A and B are shown apart, each in its own frame.
Chain A
């Protein structure tokens, strides 16, 4: 090998990545060639001179602004989770109140019906039908509400069903007897 090839192999020689034959050839050459010996020193010295470029400290504001960005993100995450949960609870609560309201109406109307010469038996049947209808009503409304909720991104608004709609539903109930 000539000097150029020897020098090209010096980093691999220093990394101990050459074959035994290559190592012997390089070491024999280095015994007699000043230029290649100098190059060998230059390779290791320059690599160690790279240490003159020492580490820099991270600016404090970089860390601080990162941490404040992270805590903002966490708050947003909480809002994303908490809002839909709160909205769902409000809907369930509202439906429960309405369901209770229907039940009470039914109970009140039983004695009213009996004063209108209706039999107790008849009134009982009406109440069962009422409850069955209410279950259907409740399920449909619940799923409508959930559907509405998932279609809204972050700020779900809970809308009350309109009054006229409620009246229509009420008037169609079999318990209303005049």
Chain B
């Protein structure tokens, strides 16, 4: 049976380097991809992956499992990602005020456009990139990491209702952006 993350953390606390490698191998890809999708920069995503695991190593001495390990892990990644945004002096941070509702006339016909997989991928990246940052984080955690709303709320430090609102609004915006696009078969 696979050793749990919490059991691995207990071994890391005792200085077990092998346990650290197992934990790294298990989670590096999701940590890297969360940062990559959120920041859009592979170098920054690499830095965040490394910093996240160095922090885990450092925190292992005092780690007590209060929540799910992945909740703690993604909270570290989320914080590091928002730190990077702040260092970019981004103006798109993060109040509920700039989480807009899309215009929804939606009456005209949308002819179906057949596009290649790579075109669809680029369009998706562009559409997610246009979302406000808090919405983006909620969408990425929900869609690409399969997290439930309550877990996303714990990671983002907000209410479950705020997460629902963000994801629901994002779905409407993305529906408008991606409407009528179908991948060629």
Contact = CB atoms under 8 A, between A and B. Distances in A.
Given A10-B172, A11-B171, A38-B110, A52 B120 contact: yes
The listed residue with most A CB atoms (<10 A of its CB), out of B29, B179, B183, is: B179
Contacts of B174: 46-47, 50
Interface in A60-98: 62-63, 65-67, 69-71, 73-74
B149 to A, nearest CB: 9
A45 interface: yes
Contacts of A59: 42, 46
Contacts of A56: 32-33, 36, 42
B171 A58 contact: no
Give the secondary structure class of A's interface.
Answer: helix
Contacts of A65: 50
Interface in B143-181: 143-144, 164, 167-169, 171-172, 174-181
A43 interface: yes
Majority DSSP secondary structure for residues of B touching A: helix
Contacts of A49: 120, 124, 178, 181, 183
B179 A70 contact: no
A32 to B, nearest CB: 14
Nearest to A61: B46
A105 B169 CA distance: 91
A5 to B, nearest CB: 10
A39 B164 contact: no
Interface of B: 15, 17, 20-21, 24, 28-29, 32-33, 36-37, 42, 46, 49-50, 53-54, 57, 101, 104, 106-107, 110, 117, 120-121, 124-125, 127-128, 139, 143-144, 164, 167-169, 171-172, 174-183
Interface of A: 3-4, 7-8, 10-12, 15, 17, 35-36, 38-39, 42-43, 45-47, 49-59, 62-63, 65-67, 69-71, 73-74
Given A10-B171, A58-B46, A70-B53, 15 more contacts: A4-B104, A10-B172, A11-B171, A35-B107, A39-B104, A47-B171, A49-B181, A49-B183, A50-B124, A53-B124, A55-B29, A62-B46, A66-B49, A70-B17, A70-B54
